[in-house]
A and B are shown apart, each in its own frame.
Chain A
């Protein structure tokens, strides 16, 4: 076969497979994924067995980083405890809050889109700006919250300056993120529940509670489950609020996992330990997600499934 025919065959092979064109178009992203995501992930796994401060070459130390974190470091367990505490309280707060809001604005009636917009709005402000706003709200003397408490004659907590109140203060900030994207997904879920289910339930004499408990919740369970899993994963990564407002203080009461990781990596430049922390977080997240699939996933009702 001549070269020309070879080329021709090759050309035909390629042009027949649209997938190649697809990859070609996706190549900027694929290259980026390899260069900026996959390779760093693999390297961080290697670094987690090293002592490494970026400027000097990594020094292999075996399992020392993991051993230290798991068996010798108080800070590690403090940060794990704080993060779990945060997750356990924040996820229900945000999920139940968002569900209530979604129920409120799900049914189409006059002015409902305005209400939806208003409830969505707070979630536009996030991160640093949000933290600075709440920093002012938590000011023990001039802050909005303590002013209100003072009017009611209640005791005034120190909020961010108190080891007991700092964590609840950061959890309460979750009120701000009720609504937002979560609410939108829930509204979509609510509106896709077939009307006839409610109708027949009403005919059978079901009140609003049994309608909610026996129709809405099961029908919405795939949505709720997905949102909960995502919310838990995001809660494990809490960082900005504590970084801006408390820097992990008072007495490590808001030292969350990612904050500790950040301090190790970018304050102390102990990339080895920080990488080990990151991998432990990854493993922990995987385990908890699997547990959630195992425990909660069974209770999720899917329409198409045979029961």
Chain B
């Protein structure tokens, strides 16, 4: 009897449980936050380290009642692959906001050309920093619109300058001065190892990834021929710049410098932030990192030192927004792009971000970037000024990753004294040229493929 009741009650409980789970699925639906009757657009963007609420879509949704933009934040390490998969599956998001090279996607037909929209609506290109447009273009067409930007500047530790007997308000203006100051600022331990490094060529952060084309560009280096078919890394400007860096590297300690560099780490262990490095070239948002990890650091920001026969230059990395090729609502997506690149919206979002103390937003819109509010932010004047001579990172659009890899490797082997600048650059040039040739052939094949596809579609349309 008891046995029977026990089994029965067990079954009853099980039944209630199952019904409950089914009920959960049937009656408790996820809250639909999209209002009915609106076209819903998905906007994919990178989620930052700090959880910044994407406010621009919110403002856009409040500003009108036809389109609803739903932001989807993806981690930096996943976004490229997710976008790739969704594009291949022909079900991409309606909008894609990212900061990697545009060429990665535009050259492979993953983004929609925006020129028709730009022309039709009279979109003012000159409202945005002109240096950024080159990155957006491919084959004479525009594939994305810059929304924000990050640029490079020269940072120096004023305390170190005072201790070394240098004027703390006068950063090095030329390469020679940089060399001179770096030597003066380097101090040693008793055992001969470096205690405080004046400057470490190419040191950026935890990973020794030299992203510096700046020195070569200052000397007037071009990395690709006008027609985009020949890679040129062995021009005198390239070789001289790399030779100078290698000379400096050796002069400042060579192996000892590598040892010093290897002791630096993430966050507060960063060389400059931990006060073990006096001068560094870093991005504009480094200001926030200093604020976060080393708030008492007395530092200054200036444009990069220039060579005697060179002109000022800096690198700028844009954040851009584009419409994927297979997107279902390009027209509505374009409305959002226009909205988010407007001067007043960019300023509003810069203010919002600054108020929340999350980071600084450096707008790509000139009017917003040069507004009194923005210019009142620490060191912003230097960054805005440097946009006049900024260059974007993608110098070989068709073989960008190969270029970076080959160039970084060449750089590393020259710094370590394994190869001369000429040898290393020659080898890198060959590697990149080969990759470029292949890509050009592939590109030709792709164009032919598209032509045939169009032809077929036309023939089908006729019958």
Residues of A within 8 A of B (CB): 51, 53-57, 59, 139-142, 158-163, 247, 249-252, 263, 266-269
CB distance from B118 to the nearest CB of A (A): 24
Picked from B208, B259, B435, B445, the residue with its CB within 8 Å of the CB of A140 is B259
Interface contact A55-B262, CB-CB below 8 Å:
no
Measured in the bound complex, the distance between the Cα atoms of B419 and A163 in whole Å is 14
| Residues of A contacting B416 in the complex (Cβ-Cβ under 8 angstroms) | 163, 250-251
Picked from B104, B259, B418, B442, the residue with its CB within 8 Å of the CB of A251 is B418
Contact with A along B436-456 (1 / 0, CB 8 A): 001001100110010000000
Residue B288, interface by CB 8 Å: no
Residue B63, interface by CB 8 Å: no
Contact with A along B247-259 (1 / 0, CB 8 A): 0000000010011
Residue B402, interface by CB 8 Å: yes
Measured in the bound complex, the distance between the Cα atoms of B416 and A161 in whole Å is 11
Besides A55-B84, A57-B449, 7 other CB < 8 A contacts? A51-B441, A53-B108, A56-B446, A159-B262, A250-B416, A251-B412, A266-B81
Picked from B207, B255, B402, the residue with its CB within 8 Å of the CB of A247 is B207
| Residues of A contacting B445 in the complex (Cβ-Cβ under 8 angstroms) | 51, 59
Measured in the bound complex, the distance between the Cα atoms of B291 and A64 in whole Å is 53
Interface contact B442-A59, CB-CB below 8 Å:
yes
Interface contact B261-A161, CB-CB below 8 Å:
yes
| Residues of B contacting A158 in the complex (Cβ-Cβ under 8 angstroms) | 255, 258-259, 262
| Residues of B contacting A140 in the complex (Cβ-Cβ under 8 angstroms) | 259, 262-263
Prevailing SS type, chain B contact patch: helix
Measured in the bound complex, the distance between the Cα atoms of B445 and A163 in whole Å is 41
CB distance from B214 to the nearest CB of A (A): 22
Interface contact B446-A54, CB-CB below 8 Å:
no
CB distance from A51 to the nearest CB of B (A): 5
Interface contact A268-B442, CB-CB below 8 Å:
no
Picked from B109, B409, B412, B418, the residue with its CB within 8 Å of the CB of A55 is B109
Interface contact B87-A51, CB-CB below 8 Å:
no
Residue B110, interface by CB 8 Å: yes
CB distance from A54 to the nearest CB of B (A): 6
CB distance from B21 to the nearest CB of A (A): 21
Measured in the bound complex, the distance between the Cα atoms of B108 and A53 in whole Å is 8
Picked from A57, A59, A161, A163, the residue with its CB within 8 Å of the CB of B259 is A161
| Residues of B contacting A162 in the complex (Cβ-Cβ under 8 angstroms) | 258
Residues in B151-189 with C-beta less than 8 Å from chain A: none
Interface contact A252-B409, CB-CB below 8 Å:
yes
Interface contact B88-A54, CB-CB below 8 Å:
yes
Picked from B401, B402, B412, the residue with its CB within 8 Å of the CB of A250 is B412
| Residues of B contacting A263 in the complex (Cβ-Cβ under 8 angstroms) | 405
| Residues of B contacting A56 in the complex (Cβ-Cβ under 8 angstroms) | 108-109, 442, 446, 449
Query: 28 A-B contacts, Cβ less than 8 Å apart?
Result: A51-B438, A51-B441, A54-B88, A55-B84, A56-B109, A57-B449, A59-B441, A59-B445, A59-B446, A139-B263, A141-B259, A141-B263, A158-B258, A161-B258, A161-B261, A249-B208, A249-B412, A250-B412, A250-B416, A251-B409, A251-B413, A251-B416, A251-B418, A263-B405, A268-B405, A269-B104, A269-B108, A269-B401
Measured in the bound complex, the distance between the Cα atoms of B402 and A250 in whole Å is 17
CB distance from B396 to the nearest CB of A (A): 12
Of chain B, the residue at the smallest CB distance from A252 is B409
Chain B: interface residue count, which band? 20 to 34
CB distance from B6 to the nearest CB of A (A): 31
CB distance from A49 to the nearest CB of B (A): 14
Residue B265, interface by CB 8 Å: yes
Measured in the bound complex, the distance between the Cα atoms of B259 and A139 in whole Å is 9
Interface contact B110-A55, CB-CB below 8 Å:
yes
Picked from A57, A142, A266, the residue with its CB within 8 Å of the CB of B446 is A57
Contact with A along B345-379 (1 / 0, CB 8 A): 00000000000000000000000000000000000
Of chain B, the residue at the smallest CB distance from A156 is B259
| Residues of B contacting A163 in the complex (Cβ-Cβ under 8 angstroms) | 416
Measured in the bound complex, the distance between the Cα atoms of B258 and A159 in whole Å is 11
Residues in B405-424 with C-beta less than 8 Å from chain A: 405, 409, 412-413, 416, 418
Of chain A, the residue at the smallest CB distance from B408 is A249
CB distance from B394 to the nearest CB of A (A): 14
| Known A54-B84, A56-B109; contact A139-B262, beta-carbon cutoff 8 A | yes
| Residues of A contacting B413 in the complex (Cβ-Cβ under 8 angstroms) | 251
Measured in the bound complex, the distance between the Cα atoms of B104 and A269 in whole Å is 9
Residues in B51-109 with C-beta less than 8 Å from chain A: 81, 84, 87-88, 104-105, 108-109
| Residues of A contacting B442 in the complex (Cβ-Cβ under 8 angstroms) | 51, 53, 56, 59
Measured in the bound complex, the distance between the Cα atoms of B418 and A249 in whole Å is 14
Picked from A51, A161, A266, A267, the residue with its CB within 8 Å of the CB of B262 is A161
| Residues of B contacting A51 in the complex (Cβ-Cβ under 8 angstroms) | 438, 441-442, 445
CB distance from A84 to the nearest CB of B (A): 22
Of chain B, the residue at the smallest CB distance from A255 is B409
Measured in the bound complex, the distance between the Cα atoms of B105 and A249 in whole Å is 27
Measured in the bound complex, the distance between the Cα atoms of B258 and A140 in whole Å is 10
Contact with A along B314-327 (1 / 0, CB 8 A): 00000000000000
Interface contact B81-A160, CB-CB below 8 Å:
no
| Residues of A contacting B265 in the complex (Cβ-Cβ under 8 angstroms) | 139
CB distance from B208 to the nearest CB of A (A): 7
| Residues of B contacting A250 in the complex (Cβ-Cβ under 8 angstroms) | 412, 416
| Residues of A contacting B110 in the complex (Cβ-Cβ under 8 angstroms) | 55
Measured in the bound complex, the distance between the Cα atoms of B104 and A38 in whole Å is 30
Interface contact B405-A267, CB-CB below 8 Å:
yes
CB distance from A186 to the nearest CB of B (A): 38
CB distance from B79 to the nearest CB of A (A): 13
Of chain A, the residue at the smallest CB distance from B413 is A251
| Residues of B contacting A161 in the complex (Cβ-Cβ under 8 angstroms) | 208, 258-259, 261-262
CB distance from B383 to the nearest CB of A (A): 29
CB distance from B405 to the nearest CB of A (A): 7
Of chain A, the residue at the smallest CB distance from B209 is A247
CB distance from B306 to the nearest CB of A (A): 30
Measured in the bound complex, the distance between the Cα atoms of B258 and A148 in whole Å is 21
Of chain A, the residue at the smallest CB distance from B448 is A59
Measured in the bound complex, the distance between the Cα atoms of B105 and A161 in whole Å is 34
| Residues of B contacting A249 in the complex (Cβ-Cβ under 8 angstroms) | 208, 412
Measured in the bound complex, the distance between the Cα atoms of B416 and A162 in whole Å is 10
Measured in the bound complex, the distance between the Cα atoms of B445 and A160 in whole Å is 43
